[in-house]
Chains A and B, each alone.
Chain A
Amino acid sequence: MSRTLRRRSTIAASLALVASLGLAACGGSDSGSSAVPPSASGGGEDALQSVYDAAPVADAAALLSDSTMAAIKERGVLRVAAALDAPLLSQQDPSNPDDIQGFDIDLAKMLAIYIIGEPNIEVVPPASETREALLTNGTVDVVFNTYTITEERAQQIEFAGPYFVSGLAVAVPSDNTDISGIDDLGGKTVIVGANTPAVTAVPEQQPTAEVVSFATDPQCVQALTQGRGDAYVQDYTLLAADAQSNAGIKVVGQPFTQEAYGIGLPPDDQDFKDFVNDWLEQIYADGSWAAVFDATLGTVGDGSTPEPPTIGSVPGS
Protein backbone atom coordinates (compact mmCIF):
# COMPACT_ATOMS: atom_id res chain seq x y z
CA MET A 1 0.00 0.00 0.00
CA SER A 2 2.80 2.39 0.68
CA ARG A 3 5.57 3.21 -1.68
CA THR A 4 8.99 4.31 -0.58
CA LEU A 5 10.52 7.30 -2.29
CA ARG A 6 14.12 7.06 -3.29
CA ARG A 7 16.40 7.73 -0.41
CA ARG A 8 18.47 10.50 -1.98
CA SER A 9 15.48 12.69 -2.73
CA THR A 10 14.21 12.09 0.81
CA ILE A 11 17.34 13.47 2.37
CA ALA A 12 17.51 16.38 -0.03
CA ALA A 13 13.89 17.29 0.59
CA SER A 14 14.13 17.15 4.36
CA LEU A 15 17.36 19.13 4.36
CA ALA A 16 15.79 21.81 2.21
CA LEU A 17 12.74 22.04 4.45
CA VAL A 18 14.75 22.18 7.64
CA ALA A 19 17.05 24.79 6.15
CA SER A 20 14.18 27.02 5.16
CA LEU A 21 12.62 26.70 8.61
CA GLY A 22 15.95 27.46 10.23
CA LEU A 23 16.32 30.60 8.15
CA ALA A 24 12.82 31.66 9.06
CA ALA A 25 13.68 31.16 12.73
CA CYS A 26 16.70 33.43 12.48
CA GLY A 27 14.71 36.08 10.70
CA GLY A 28 12.03 35.92 13.35
CA SER A 29 14.25 36.35 16.33
CA ASP A 30 16.64 38.88 14.82
CA SER A 31 14.03 41.34 13.71
CA GLY A 32 12.91 42.39 17.16
CA SER A 33 15.84 42.57 19.49
CA SER A 34 19.35 41.46 20.16
CA ALA A 35 20.68 39.96 23.33
CA VAL A 36 24.03 41.65 22.83
CA PRO A 37 24.07 45.33 23.67
CA PRO A 38 26.21 47.67 21.59
CA SER A 39 29.77 47.49 22.81
CA ALA A 40 30.74 50.28 25.11
CA SER A 41 32.73 52.97 23.36
CA GLY A 42 35.70 54.41 25.21
CA GLY A 43 36.59 53.02 28.60
CA GLY A 44 34.66 49.74 28.53
CA GLU A 45 36.15 46.36 29.24
CA ASP A 46 39.61 47.11 27.86
CA ALA A 47 40.12 49.71 30.57
CA LEU A 48 39.76 46.91 33.13
CA GLN A 49 43.15 45.38 32.42
CA SER A 50 44.78 47.94 34.68
CA VAL A 51 42.18 47.18 37.34
CA TYR A 52 43.03 43.50 37.14
CA ASP A 53 46.73 44.29 37.30
CA ALA A 54 46.23 46.29 40.49
CA ALA A 55 43.63 43.94 42.01
CA PRO A 56 44.24 42.98 45.62
CA VAL A 57 45.66 39.54 46.41
CA ALA A 58 44.99 37.95 49.78
CA ASP A 59 47.82 37.46 52.27
CA ALA A 60 48.91 33.87 52.59
CA ALA A 61 47.81 34.03 56.23
CA ALA A 62 44.24 34.79 55.19
CA LEU A 63 44.02 31.43 53.38
CA LEU A 64 43.41 29.42 56.53
CA SER A 65 44.60 25.86 56.27
CA ASP A 66 41.90 23.32 55.34
CA SER A 67 39.60 26.18 54.37
CA THR A 68 37.50 26.53 51.22
CA MET A 69 39.78 29.29 49.92
CA ALA A 70 42.90 27.16 50.45
CA ALA A 71 41.23 24.35 48.51
CA ILE A 72 40.45 26.77 45.65
CA LYS A 73 44.05 28.02 45.56
CA GLU A 74 45.24 24.41 45.55
CA ARG A 75 42.96 23.65 42.61
CA GLY A 76 44.09 26.79 40.77
CA VAL A 77 40.67 27.70 39.44
CA LEU A 78 37.59 29.30 40.96
CA ARG A 79 34.37 27.57 39.93
CA VAL A 80 31.70 30.21 39.41
CA ALA A 81 28.00 29.81 38.71
CA ALA A 82 27.20 32.69 36.36
CA ALA A 83 24.87 33.36 33.45
CA LEU A 84 26.06 33.45 29.85
CA ASP A 85 23.21 35.54 28.49
CA ALA A 86 22.88 38.57 30.76
CA PRO A 87 23.91 41.76 28.93
CA LEU A 88 26.31 43.96 30.95
CA LEU A 89 26.32 41.44 33.81
CA SER A 90 27.59 38.19 32.34
CA GLN A 91 27.43 37.91 28.59
CA GLN A 92 29.26 35.29 26.54
CA ASP A 93 30.57 36.32 23.14
CA PRO A 94 28.87 33.82 20.78
CA SER A 95 31.86 33.78 18.40
CA ASN A 96 34.41 33.37 21.18
CA PRO A 97 33.02 31.23 24.01
CA ASP A 98 35.96 31.97 26.30
CA ASP A 99 35.15 35.66 26.24
CA ILE A 100 32.54 36.42 28.91
CA GLN A 101 32.10 40.02 29.94
CA GLY A 102 30.07 41.93 32.46
CA PHE A 103 29.84 43.16 36.02
CA ASP A 104 29.32 39.76 37.65
CA ILE A 105 32.07 38.03 35.67
CA ASP A 106 34.60 40.81 36.20
CA LEU A 107 34.04 40.66 39.94
CA ALA A 108 34.35 36.86 39.84
CA LYS A 109 37.72 37.26 38.08
CA MET A 110 38.82 39.77 40.71
CA LEU A 111 37.88 37.29 43.43
CA ALA A 112 39.88 34.61 41.60
CA ILE A 113 42.87 36.98 41.55
CA TYR A 114 42.38 37.62 45.26
CA ILE A 115 42.48 33.92 46.09
CA ILE A 116 44.72 32.39 43.42
CA GLY A 117 46.65 35.35 42.05
CA GLU A 118 45.37 34.70 38.51
CA PRO A 119 41.94 35.45 36.98
CA ASN A 120 41.28 31.73 36.53
CA ILE A 121 37.57 31.02 36.59
CA GLU A 122 35.51 28.13 35.33
CA VAL A 123 31.96 29.22 34.57
CA VAL A 124 29.07 26.85 35.20
CA PRO A 125 25.85 28.35 33.85
CA PRO A 126 23.21 27.69 36.51
CA ALA A 127 19.49 27.59 36.13
CA SER A 128 18.11 30.13 38.58
CA GLU A 129 16.23 27.32 40.32
CA THR A 130 19.32 25.18 40.98
CA ARG A 131 21.76 27.65 42.49
CA GLU A 132 21.24 26.50 46.08
CA ALA A 133 21.73 22.88 45.01
CA LEU A 134 24.94 23.72 43.08
CA LEU A 135 26.41 25.38 46.18
CA THR A 136 25.20 22.73 48.61
CA ASN A 137 26.59 19.81 46.63
CA GLY A 138 29.89 21.54 45.91
CA THR A 139 29.61 21.83 42.12
CA VAL A 140 30.58 25.50 42.34
CA ASP A 141 32.49 27.59 44.86
CA VAL A 142 30.60 30.85 44.41
CA VAL A 143 27.50 32.18 42.66
CA PHE A 144 27.65 35.54 40.85
CA ASN A 145 24.24 35.54 39.22
CA THR A 146 22.16 38.62 40.20
CA TYR A 147 21.37 36.45 43.21
CA THR A 148 18.91 38.42 45.30
CA ILE A 149 19.53 37.99 49.00
CA THR A 150 16.44 36.55 50.71
CA GLU A 151 15.99 35.00 54.12
CA GLU A 152 14.56 31.79 52.62
CA ARG A 153 17.67 31.33 50.52
CA ALA A 154 19.94 32.30 53.42
CA GLN A 155 18.60 29.33 55.39
CA GLN A 156 20.21 27.01 52.87
CA ILE A 157 23.35 28.82 51.77
CA GLU A 158 25.48 31.78 52.86
CA PHE A 159 25.47 35.20 51.21
CA ALA A 160 28.47 37.53 51.12
CA GLY A 161 27.72 41.15 50.30
CA PRO A 162 25.45 42.64 49.12
CA TYR A 163 27.73 43.72 46.30
CA PHE A 164 25.13 45.59 44.27
CA VAL A 165 21.69 47.04 44.85
CA SER A 166 19.31 47.43 41.97
CA GLY A 167 15.57 47.42 41.56
CA LEU A 168 12.75 46.43 39.28
CA ALA A 169 11.48 48.95 36.77
CA VAL A 170 8.83 49.09 34.04
CA ALA A 171 9.40 49.16 30.28
CA VAL A 172 6.66 49.78 27.71
CA PRO A 173 6.53 50.03 23.91
CA SER A 174 7.84 53.43 22.78
CA ASP A 175 4.44 54.54 21.49
CA ASN A 176 2.70 53.89 24.83
CA THR A 177 1.79 57.02 26.78
CA ASP A 178 -0.71 55.56 29.31
CA ILE A 179 1.75 53.77 31.56
CA SER A 180 4.23 55.77 33.55
CA GLY A 181 5.20 53.27 36.24
CA ILE A 182 4.16 50.33 38.37
CA ASP A 183 1.07 52.20 39.63
CA ASP A 184 -0.50 52.11 36.17
CA LEU A 185 -0.26 48.34 35.72
CA GLY A 186 -3.50 47.33 37.49
CA GLY A 187 -5.51 45.05 35.22
CA LYS A 188 -2.79 45.07 32.55
CA THR A 189 -0.89 42.13 31.12
CA VAL A 190 2.66 42.30 32.43
CA ILE A 191 5.59 40.37 30.94
CA VAL A 192 8.28 39.17 33.34
CA GLY A 193 11.36 36.99 33.07
CA ALA A 194 10.86 33.47 34.45
CA ASN A 195 12.65 33.01 37.79
CA THR A 196 13.25 36.73 38.31
CA PRO A 197 12.10 38.68 41.39
CA ALA A 198 9.44 40.30 39.19
CA VAL A 199 7.44 37.05 39.21
CA THR A 200 6.49 37.70 42.83
CA ALA A 201 6.96 41.48 43.05
CA VAL A 202 4.40 42.37 40.37
CA PRO A 203 1.47 40.49 41.98
CA GLU A 204 2.42 41.99 45.36
CA GLN A 205 2.20 45.54 44.00
CA GLN A 206 -0.59 45.02 41.47
CA PRO A 207 -2.76 42.00 42.36
CA THR A 208 -5.05 42.58 39.36
CA ALA A 209 -2.24 42.48 36.79
CA GLU A 210 -1.95 39.34 34.69
CA VAL A 211 1.63 38.07 34.72
CA VAL A 212 3.12 36.26 31.71
CA SER A 213 6.64 34.89 32.03
CA PHE A 214 9.14 34.05 29.31
CA ALA A 215 12.43 32.22 29.70
CA THR A 216 14.94 34.84 28.57
CA ASP A 217 15.28 38.61 28.41
CA PRO A 218 15.35 38.78 24.56
CA GLN A 219 12.14 36.73 24.47
CA CYS A 220 10.49 39.14 26.91
CA VAL A 221 11.52 42.14 24.79
CA GLN A 222 10.24 40.41 21.65
CA ALA A 223 6.95 39.60 23.38
CA LEU A 224 6.58 43.22 24.50
CA THR A 225 7.21 44.64 21.02
CA GLN A 226 4.77 42.10 19.55
CA GLY A 227 2.01 43.18 21.91
CA ARG A 228 1.75 40.07 24.07
CA GLY A 229 1.72 42.33 27.09
CA ASP A 230 1.30 46.00 28.03
CA ALA A 231 4.54 46.29 30.00
CA TYR A 232 7.72 44.42 30.86
CA VAL A 233 9.00 44.44 34.44
CA GLN A 234 12.67 43.61 34.91
CA ASP A 235 15.82 44.79 36.64
CA TYR A 236 16.41 48.48 35.91
CA THR A 237 19.94 48.07 34.50
CA LEU A 238 18.89 45.26 32.20
CA LEU A 239 15.92 47.30 30.93
CA ALA A 240 18.19 50.30 30.37
CA ALA A 241 20.47 48.09 28.24
CA ASP A 242 17.48 46.73 26.31
CA ALA A 243 16.05 50.18 25.67
CA GLN A 244 19.44 51.37 24.45
CA SER A 245 19.68 48.60 21.85
CA ASN A 246 16.01 48.58 20.85
CA ALA A 247 14.21 51.77 19.87
CA GLY A 248 10.85 49.98 20.16
CA ILE A 249 10.81 50.08 23.97
CA LYS A 250 11.41 52.66 26.68
CA VAL A 251 11.84 52.58 30.44
CA VAL A 252 9.25 54.57 32.41
CA GLY A 253 9.43 55.72 36.02
CA GLN A 254 11.98 54.84 38.68
CA PRO A 255 12.78 51.41 40.16
CA PHE A 256 9.99 50.41 42.57
CA THR A 257 11.83 47.71 44.56
CA GLN A 258 15.23 47.29 46.13
CA GLU A 259 16.98 44.08 45.13
CA ALA A 260 20.22 43.46 46.99
CA TYR A 261 22.46 41.06 45.09
CA GLY A 262 24.73 38.80 47.11
CA ILE A 263 27.54 36.39 46.32
CA GLY A 264 26.21 32.91 46.97
CA LEU A 265 28.55 30.77 49.07
CA PRO A 266 28.38 27.19 50.35
CA PRO A 267 26.34 26.71 53.54
CA ASP A 268 27.85 26.80 57.05
CA ASP A 269 31.19 28.23 55.95
CA GLN A 270 31.62 31.36 58.05
CA ASP A 271 35.38 31.55 57.33
CA PHE A 272 34.81 31.74 53.59
CA LYS A 273 32.02 34.28 54.06
CA ASP A 274 34.23 36.54 56.19
CA PHE A 275 37.04 36.13 53.67
CA VAL A 276 34.83 37.19 50.72
CA ASN A 277 33.34 40.08 52.71
CA ASP A 278 36.90 41.27 53.51
CA TRP A 279 37.68 41.19 49.80
CA LEU A 280 34.52 43.19 49.01
CA GLU A 281 35.54 45.84 51.58
CA GLN A 282 38.93 46.11 49.90
CA ILE A 283 37.63 46.55 46.37
CA TYR A 284 34.99 49.02 47.62
CA ALA A 285 37.73 51.03 49.33
CA ASP A 286 40.35 51.00 46.54
CA GLY A 287 37.91 52.05 43.82
CA SER A 288 38.18 48.90 41.72
CA TRP A 289 34.51 48.03 42.36
CA ALA A 290 33.57 51.44 40.94
CA ALA A 291 35.91 50.92 37.95
CA VAL A 292 34.23 47.60 37.13
CA PHE A 293 30.80 49.24 37.47
CA ASP A 294 31.75 52.09 35.13
CA ALA A 295 33.03 49.65 32.50
CA THR A 296 29.88 47.52 32.53
CA LEU A 297 26.57 48.59 34.09
CA GLY A 298 27.68 52.22 34.12
CA THR A 299 27.69 52.36 30.30
CA VAL A 300 23.89 52.66 30.39
CA GLY A 301 21.80 54.86 32.64
CA ASP A 302 22.59 58.37 33.80
CA GLY A 303 26.37 57.95 33.95
CA SER A 304 26.78 58.35 37.71
CA THR A 305 28.53 55.70 39.80
CA PRO A 306 26.54 54.58 42.85
CA GLU A 307 28.00 54.10 46.32
CA PRO A 308 28.75 50.43 47.00
CA PRO A 309 26.20 48.89 49.41
CA THR A 310 27.10 48.23 53.04
CA ILE A 311 28.18 44.66 53.75
CA GLY A 312 25.61 42.79 55.81
CA SER A 313 22.98 45.51 55.46
CA VAL A 314 20.27 43.16 54.19
CA PRO A 315 18.43 40.42 56.16
CA GLY A 316 20.02 37.15 55.11
CA SER A 317 23.48 38.59 54.39
Chain B
Amino acid sequence: MSALVENWPALLAGLGTTLLVLVTSAVGALVLGTLVVVARVSPVPVLRAAAFGYVQVLVNVPLLALLLLAVFALPDAGLLAPLTLTAIIVLTVYEAAYVAEALRSGINTVPRGQVEASRALGFTLSQTLRLVVVPQAARAVVQPLGNVLIALLMNTALAATVGVVELTSAVNKVNLVQAEPIPIFGAAGLVYMALALVIGLGAGRIEKRVAIRR
Protein backbone atom coordinates (compact mmCIF):
# COMPACT_ATOMS: atom_id res chain seq x y z
CA MET B 1 0.00 0.00 0.00
CA SER B 2 2.88 2.37 0.76
CA ALA B 3 3.78 2.12 -2.92
CA LEU B 4 0.47 3.81 -3.74
CA VAL B 5 0.67 6.43 -1.02
CA GLU B 6 4.20 7.52 -1.91
CA ASN B 7 3.36 7.96 -5.56
CA TRP B 8 -0.03 9.59 -5.30
CA PRO B 9 0.84 12.76 -7.29
CA ALA B 10 1.83 10.71 -10.34
CA LEU B 11 -1.18 8.43 -9.96
CA LEU B 12 -3.54 11.38 -9.54
CA ALA B 13 -2.11 13.00 -12.68
CA GLY B 14 -2.70 9.72 -14.52
CA LEU B 15 -6.27 9.55 -13.26
CA GLY B 16 -6.76 13.16 -14.39
CA THR B 17 -5.63 12.25 -17.90
CA THR B 18 -7.95 9.23 -17.91
CA LEU B 19 -10.87 11.47 -16.94
CA LEU B 20 -9.89 14.10 -19.52
CA VAL B 21 -9.75 11.48 -22.27
CA LEU B 22 -12.97 9.87 -21.03
CA VAL B 23 -15.03 13.05 -20.83
CA THR B 24 -13.84 14.67 -24.07
CA SER B 25 -14.17 11.52 -26.13
CA ALA B 26 -17.54 10.67 -24.53
CA VAL B 27 -18.97 14.07 -25.47
CA GLY B 28 -17.41 13.81 -28.91
CA ALA B 29 -18.70 10.26 -29.45
CA LEU B 30 -22.25 11.17 -28.37
CA VAL B 31 -22.35 14.14 -30.78
CA LEU B 32 -20.67 12.32 -33.67
CA GLY B 33 -22.69 9.15 -33.05
CA THR B 34 -25.95 11.13 -33.20
CA LEU B 35 -24.90 12.70 -36.51
CA VAL B 36 -23.98 9.28 -37.87
CA VAL B 37 -27.28 7.72 -36.88
CA VAL B 38 -29.21 10.64 -38.38
CA ALA B 39 -27.35 10.01 -41.64
CA ARG B 40 -27.98 6.29 -41.23
CA VAL B 41 -31.77 6.75 -41.14
CA SER B 42 -31.97 9.71 -43.53
CA PRO B 43 -33.77 9.36 -46.84
CA VAL B 44 -30.59 10.27 -48.76
CA PRO B 45 -29.04 7.03 -50.10
CA VAL B 46 -25.48 8.41 -50.19
CA LEU B 47 -25.64 9.50 -46.55
CA ARG B 48 -27.17 6.19 -45.53
CA ALA B 49 -24.45 4.23 -47.30
CA ALA B 50 -21.69 6.41 -45.85
CA ALA B 51 -23.02 6.04 -42.31
CA PHE B 52 -23.42 2.30 -42.81
CA GLY B 53 -19.83 2.01 -44.05
CA TYR B 54 -18.54 4.13 -41.16
CA VAL B 55 -20.18 1.92 -38.55
CA GLN B 56 -19.13 -1.33 -40.21
CA VAL B 57 -15.48 -0.32 -40.58
CA LEU B 58 -15.07 1.01 -37.05
CA VAL B 59 -16.94 -1.80 -35.34
CA ASN B 60 -14.90 -4.40 -37.22
CA VAL B 61 -11.39 -3.00 -36.74
CA PRO B 62 -9.75 -3.46 -33.32
CA LEU B 63 -9.28 -0.22 -31.43
CA LEU B 64 -5.60 -0.99 -30.82
CA ALA B 65 -5.04 -1.24 -34.58
CA LEU B 66 -6.74 2.13 -35.07
CA LEU B 67 -4.64 3.72 -32.32
CA LEU B 68 -1.40 2.35 -33.74
CA LEU B 69 -2.38 3.46 -37.25
CA ALA B 70 -3.21 6.96 -36.06
CA VAL B 71 -0.05 7.31 -34.01
CA PHE B 72 2.50 5.63 -36.30
CA ALA B 73 1.04 5.73 -39.82
CA LEU B 74 -0.45 9.24 -39.97
CA PRO B 75 2.94 10.92 -39.31
CA ASP B 76 4.22 9.25 -42.50
CA ALA B 77 1.36 11.03 -44.27
CA GLY B 78 2.49 14.31 -42.73
CA LEU B 79 -0.02 14.48 -39.85
CA LEU B 80 1.79 14.67 -36.51
CA ALA B 81 -0.61 15.49 -33.66
CA PRO B 82 0.09 15.36 -29.91
CA LEU B 83 -0.42 11.86 -28.47
CA THR B 84 -3.27 12.65 -26.09
CA LEU B 85 -5.16 14.53 -28.80
CA THR B 86 -4.63 11.64 -31.22
CA ALA B 87 -5.96 9.17 -28.65
CA ILE B 88 -9.02 11.34 -27.95
CA ILE B 89 -9.82 11.64 -31.65
CA VAL B 90 -9.42 7.90 -32.27
CA LEU B 91 -11.57 7.01 -29.23
CA THR B 92 -14.23 9.53 -30.31
CA VAL B 93 -14.39 8.20 -33.86
CA TYR B 94 -14.38 4.58 -32.65
CA GLU B 95 -16.98 4.90 -29.91
CA ALA B 96 -19.23 7.04 -32.14
CA ALA B 97 -19.92 3.89 -34.17
CA TYR B 98 -21.14 2.10 -31.02
CA VAL B 99 -23.17 5.15 -29.94
CA ALA B 100 -24.76 5.22 -33.41
CA GLU B 101 -25.69 1.54 -33.20
CA ALA B 102 -27.18 1.98 -29.71
CA LEU B 103 -29.19 4.98 -30.89
CA ARG B 104 -30.34 3.13 -33.99
CA SER B 105 -31.75 0.34 -31.85
CA GLY B 106 -33.66 3.08 -30.01
CA ILE B 107 -34.92 4.54 -33.27
CA ASN B 108 -36.20 1.12 -34.26
CA THR B 109 -38.39 1.16 -31.14
CA VAL B 110 -40.28 4.23 -32.41
CA PRO B 111 -43.29 2.90 -34.30
CA ARG B 112 -43.26 3.67 -38.02
CA GLY B 113 -46.82 4.98 -37.70
CA GLN B 114 -45.59 7.94 -35.65
CA VAL B 115 -43.29 9.01 -38.45
CA GLU B 116 -46.08 8.68 -40.96
CA ALA B 117 -48.35 10.65 -38.64
CA SER B 118 -45.87 13.47 -38.22
CA ARG B 119 -45.41 13.60 -41.97
CA ALA B 120 -49.17 13.76 -42.40
CA LEU B 121 -49.19 16.69 -39.95
CA GLY B 122 -46.73 18.51 -42.22
CA PHE B 123 -43.53 18.08 -40.16
CA THR B 124 -40.30 18.45 -42.09
CA LEU B 125 -37.68 15.68 -41.80
CA SER B 126 -35.73 17.75 -39.31
CA GLN B 127 -38.82 18.36 -37.20
CA THR B 128 -39.78 14.70 -37.33
CA LEU B 129 -36.34 13.70 -36.08
CA ARG B 130 -35.96 16.46 -33.48
CA LEU B 131 -39.45 16.44 -32.04
CA VAL B 132 -40.70 12.90 -32.50
CA VAL B 133 -38.06 10.27 -33.18
CA VAL B 134 -34.81 11.17 -31.39
CA PRO B 135 -36.37 12.16 -28.03
CA GLN B 136 -38.14 8.80 -27.78
CA ALA B 137 -35.19 6.88 -29.20
CA ALA B 138 -32.72 8.45 -26.78
CA ARG B 139 -34.92 7.66 -23.76
CA ALA B 140 -35.00 4.02 -24.77
CA VAL B 141 -31.22 3.70 -24.95
CA VAL B 142 -29.94 5.53 -21.87
CA GLN B 143 -28.74 2.30 -20.26
CA PRO B 144 -27.12 0.93 -23.48
CA LEU B 145 -25.37 4.28 -23.95
CA GLY B 146 -24.14 3.99 -20.36
CA ASN B 147 -22.63 0.64 -21.29
CA VAL B 148 -20.96 2.18 -24.33
CA LEU B 149 -19.44 4.86 -22.07
CA ILE B 150 -18.21 2.20 -19.62
CA ALA B 151 -16.58 0.39 -22.54
CA LEU B 152 -15.05 3.73 -23.55
CA LEU B 153 -13.63 4.12 -20.03
CA MET B 154 -11.97 0.70 -20.25
CA ASN B 155 -10.74 1.48 -23.75
CA THR B 156 -8.91 4.60 -22.53
CA ALA B 157 -6.39 2.18 -20.99
CA LEU B 158 -5.26 1.24 -24.50
CA ALA B 159 -3.93 4.77 -24.90
CA ALA B 160 -1.12 3.67 -22.55
CA THR B 161 0.36 1.62 -25.39
CA VAL B 162 0.87 4.71 -27.51
CA GLY B 163 2.54 6.84 -24.88
CA VAL B 164 -0.38 8.62 -23.22
CA VAL B 165 0.31 8.72 -19.48
CA GLU B 166 -3.14 7.89 -18.17
CA LEU B 167 -4.01 5.79 -15.13
CA THR B 168 -2.83 2.44 -16.52
CA SER B 169 0.44 3.89 -17.74
CA ALA B 170 0.97 5.70 -14.42
CA VAL B 171 0.47 2.53 -12.35
CA ASN B 172 2.81 0.72 -14.72
CA LYS B 173 5.51 3.24 -13.95
CA VAL B 174 4.95 2.97 -10.20
CA ASN B 175 5.07 -0.80 -10.42
CA LEU B 176 8.29 -0.68 -12.39
CA VAL B 177 10.02 0.80 -9.34
CA GLN B 178 8.04 -0.82 -6.53
CA ALA B 179 7.59 -4.27 -8.09
CA GLU B 180 4.33 -5.00 -6.28
CA PRO B 181 2.01 -5.76 -9.18
CA ILE B 182 -0.88 -7.26 -7.25
CA PRO B 183 -1.70 -4.37 -4.85
CA ILE B 184 -0.83 -1.74 -7.46
CA PHE B 185 -2.88 -3.14 -10.33
CA GLY B 186 -5.59 -4.23 -7.92
CA ALA B 187 -5.96 -0.64 -6.74
CA ALA B 188 -6.09 0.62 -10.32
CA GLY B 189 -8.76 -1.97 -11.07
CA LEU B 190 -10.82 -0.70 -8.13
CA VAL B 191 -10.57 2.87 -9.45
CA TYR B 192 -11.80 1.74 -12.87
CA MET B 193 -14.60 -0.19 -11.18
CA ALA B 194 -15.61 2.84 -9.15
CA LEU B 195 -15.71 5.02 -12.27
CA ALA B 196 -17.74 2.38 -14.13
CA LEU B 197 -20.12 2.22 -11.19
CA VAL B 198 -20.59 6.00 -11.29
CA ILE B 199 -21.40 5.85 -15.00
CA GLY B 200 -23.72 2.85 -14.56
CA LEU B 201 -25.62 4.31 -11.60
CA GLY B 202 -25.78 7.71 -13.32
CA ALA B 203 -27.26 6.11 -16.42
CA GLY B 204 -29.81 4.29 -14.23
CA ARG B 205 -30.91 7.55 -12.60
CA ILE B 206 -31.15 9.39 -15.89
CA GLU B 207 -33.15 6.54 -17.36
CA LYS B 208 -35.66 6.69 -14.51
CA ARG B 209 -35.93 10.46 -14.76
CA VAL B 210 -36.55 10.60 -18.49
CA ALA B 211 -38.70 7.48 -18.72
CA ILE B 212 -41.97 7.98 -20.56
CA ARG B 213 -44.85 6.78 -18.40
CA ARG B 214 -47.38 5.37 -20.74
Contact = CB atoms under 8 A, between A and B. Distances in A.
A, B bound: yes
Interface of A: 1-3, 5, 10, 13-14, 17-18, 21, 24-25, 27-29, 31-32, 128-130, 132-133, 150, 152-153, 155-156, 194-195, 199-200, 212-215, 219, 222-223, 226-228
Closest 4 CB pairs of A and B: A28-B73, A226-B75, A215-B161, A14-B56
Given A18-B60, A25-B68, A212 B73 contact: no
Nearest to A214: B163
A162 B161 CA distance: 30
Interface string B172-199: 1101111111100100000000000000
Interface of B is mostly: helix
Given A24-B73, A228-B80, A130 B181 contact: yes
B61 interface: yes
Interface in B144-166: 160-163, 165
A21 B68 CA distance: 12
B72 A1 contact: no
B52 A227 contact: no
Contact of A29 (B41, B72, B172): B72
Contacts of A150: 179
A28 B75 CA distance: 9
A200 B72 contact: no
A126 to B, nearest CB: 11
Given A18-B57, A21-B57, A228-B75, A1 B112 contact: yes
Contacts of B65: 21, 25
Contacts of A227: 75, 80
A133 B61 contact: no
18 contacts: A1-B112, A2-B104, A3-B48, A10-B56, A14-B56, A17-B56, A18-B60, A25-B69, A28-B73, A129-B176, A200-B173, A213-B173, A214-B163, A215-B161, A215-B162, A223-B71, A226-B72, A228-B83
Nearest to A195: B176
A24 B69 contact: yes
A190 B69 CA distance: 21
A27 B169 CA distance: 28
Contacts of A215: 160-162
B53 interface: yes
A228 B68 CA distance: 14
Contacts of B19: none
A19 to B, nearest CB: 11
Contact of A133 (B48, B169, B178, B181): B181
